[in-house]
Amino acid sequence: MERSFKLPPTMLLGAAGTQGLRGQSLLESAARRGGAGFPVRWGWSMMEIATKLAWGLLALAHLSPAAVTFAPPLVERLYGVSPTGDLGVLIAHRGALFLAIVAACALAVFEAPARRALGVVVAISVIGFLVLYLWAGAPSGPLRTIAIVDAAALLPLAFVLVAAWRPQAA
């Protein structure tokens, strides 16, 4: 089966500067992995790259609420709550917890062994909010925006969970 991309023969045969981190040519790297996926210079499979991108998308989805930690005026803009009242302080604390979620997603990009546990944490955050939002009758306003972002995050979340729990990941 011919692929739509072409590599110069020198890259496939291991010319100077084309070896991966393990000193193998791209062809050797592909053969070592049984030919599965296109070999990438750092030795990552396409599945690993997609998994890293999905974790990055999850971090991005949680970045806006995490920013409240460092910019209290965002509390009013994002949630319609005064940043100086009790509820504003709780929302700011919520931002710090979202900062932890962002950090967890960033860690998962680089630490594959931690992905199962971190996936569970992020799933509790995303799915938990969506369930609470629906139980509250799906109110409009700022909560609807959060629900839309969390609903969009379900796709990369499902991807990282499947990737973390598939038999090869164990």
Rg (CA), the chain: 21
User: Structural domain tally of the chain?
Assistant: 2
Q: What are phi and psi of 82, to 5 degrees?
A: -65, 130
Q: How far apart are CA 93 and CA 118, in angstroms?
A: 20
Range of the domain at 28: 1-43
pLDDT in tens, 93-133: 999 999 999 999 999 999 999 999 999 999 999 999 999 99
Question: Are 15 and 54 members of one domain?
Answer: no
pTM attached to this predicted model: 0.71
Render pLDDT for 30-81 as a digit per residue (tens, 0 to 9): 545 544 444 445 566 899 999 999 999 999 999 999 999 999 888 888 888 8
Residues 155 and 161: beta-carbon distance below 8 Å: no
Q: Are residue 27 and residue 57 in the same domain, yes or no?
A: no
Main-chain phi, psi angles of 84, to 5 degrees: -95, -15
Specify whether 51 is located in the same domain as 102. Answer: yes
Q: Of 1, 125, 112, 3, which is closest to residue 54 (Cα–Cα)? A: 112
Burial, 126: exposed, middle or buried (Cβ in 10 Å; 0-12, 13-18, 19+)? Answer: buried
Instruction: Say if CB 19 and CB 25 are below 8 A apart.
Output: yes
